[in-house]
Amino acid sequence: MKYLELKVKTAYVVHGFDENNREIREPGQDDFTAKLVAIERIQSISEQYLLVTGSHGRVMYWEYEGGLAQLRERLGAAGLMLP
Q: Over the stretch 10-47, which tens digit does the pLDDT of each residue have?
A: 999 998 899 999 989 999 888 999 999 999 999 999 99
Residues, the chain: 83
> What is the pLDDT, as a whole number, of residue 16?
87
Q: Which amino acid is at 70?
A: Q
Report the distance separating Cα 4 and Cα 8, nearest Å.
Answer: 11
- 58-76 pLDDT tens trace: 899 999 999 999 999 999 9
Select from 71, 28, 18 the least CA-distant residue to 46.
Answer: 71
Mean pLDDT of 43-60: 92
Could you say which DSSP state residue 19 is in?
T
Determine the Cα–Cα distance for residues 3 and 41; give it in Å rounded to an integer: 10
